[in-house]
Amino acid sequence: MIHIAHIYNNFTGKFGIPRQSGLVGNSLSRIVFEPEFRNPDALRGLDGFSHIWLIWEFSEAVRRGKERNTVTGAGGTAGTSPSAGTAGEKTDWNPTVRPPRLGGNERIGVFATRSPFRPNPIGLSCVKIVKIETNTEEGPVITVSGADLMNGTPIFDIKPYIPYADSYPDALGGFTAEREFGTVKVSILQTAASKLTAEETKELISLLEQDPRPAYKRDEKKTYRFSFAGKEIEFISNEDELTVTDII
């Protein structure tokens, strides 16, 4: 499987990224294609859709096994799989994981979760198209909102979201519907706010309102730090309120 594009945004570290796509709607990301896929014709007709599915790799969560099956190389020669993700490669995986939604203490089957630690580290996200540019210096670029991918994440494929086929209003949410997590109050000290642009400030507040803390630590008073927009964001937590104290 090959990468057709990469996504670029302000989420420069794993901690703090929205847990699901669409939760931070004012967060913008740019999808830039690899050189061999920079053909505007590949996007013909996409402007008629409002949303797209991104099929991508949990590139920071890949855990490779020590053993790899042999594959047939050029000229019919058998050899070791040459790169990550090649057919025949063996990966480490666990049949159960601890979802943050359940406090990180209860195990659930991996196929009943969206955990990044899977037999194949593949993610699926639905994002909104903001604009499509077909002739930039980087080739065709799609700007989207609501992505839950880290900056630089490789993308395998893009498909249109089709409402009549992809929307099921009566669908069950399993364990994710058992615990509702509301937003938290967010404040930023003036000394810290001055280090962000107005747009970065809005995005940061929307991100923190979703509460990036592990569910089992939400009652603790603690200082956290994470990467955002090329800066280090420091905030303190006090139950249902988060305060940004410094930006480095």
**Do residues 92 and 62 make contact, with C-beta atoms less than 8 angstroms apart?**
no
Are 211 and 189 in a shared domain?
yes
| pTM of the full structure | 0.82
Q: Choose the weakest-confidence range: 58-67, 172-181, 198-207.
A: 58-67
d(CA 68, CA 84): 10
> In CATH, what number is assigned to the domain containing residue 13?
2.40.30.70
* Helical spans, DSSP H, in 50-186: 163-166
Q: Choose the weakest-confidence range: 120-124, 126-130, 164-168, 220-224.
A: 220-224
Better pLDDT: 178 or 95: 95
Are 20 and 43 in a shared domain?
yes
Q: What token pair was written down for 116?
A: 């990044």
Q: What number is the average pLDDT over the span 195-202? A: 93
Residue 74 has pLDDT above 80, yes or no: no
In a domain, 214, yes or no: yes
Are 35 and 74 in a shared domain?
no
In a domain, 113, yes or no: no
d(CA 130, CA 107): 38
Q: What number is the average pLDDT over the span 179-183? A: 70
Residue 131 has pLDDT above 60, yes or no: yes
Are 44 and 74 in a shared domain?
no
In a domain, 115, yes or no: no
Are 152 and 187 in a shared domain?
no
In a domain, 83, yes or no: yes
Are 25 and 148 in a shared domain?
yes
In a domain, 136, yes or no: yes
Structural domain of 219: 180-247
Q: Between vectors from CA 23 to CA 98 and to CA 26, what angle results, nearest 5°?
A: 145
Domain count across the chain:
3
Q: What token pair was written down for 114?
A: 């969206």
d(CA 31, CA 153): 10
Model confidence pLDDT, tens digit, residues 12-66: 988 888 888 988 988 999 999 999 999 999 999 999 999 999 999 988 766 655 4
Residue 165 has pLDDT above 70, yes or no: yes
**Do residues 90 and 65 make contact, with C-beta atoms less than 8 angstroms apart?**
yes
Residues found in the chain: 248
Model confidence pLDDT, tens digit, residues 98-117: 877 676 678 889 999 888 88
Are 39 and 128 in a shared domain?
yes
- 3-state DSSP assignment of residue 140: strand
User: To the nearest whole percent, how much of the chain has pLDDT over 70?
Assistant: 83
Model confidence pLDDT, tens digit, residues 58-71: 887 666 554 434 33
d(CA 166, CA 146): 17
In a domain, 203, yes or no: yes
Are 102 and 129 in a shared domain?
no
Give the model's pLDDT for residue 71: 35
Are 188 and 214 in a shared domain?
yes
Are 56 and 125 in a shared domain?
yes
User: To the nearest whole percent, how much of the chain has pLDDT over 90?
Assistant: 58
Are 187 and 241 in a shared domain?
yes
Model confidence pLDDT, tens digit, residues 132-164: 999 999 999 999 999 999 999 999 999 999 999
Are 54 and 149 in a shared domain?
yes
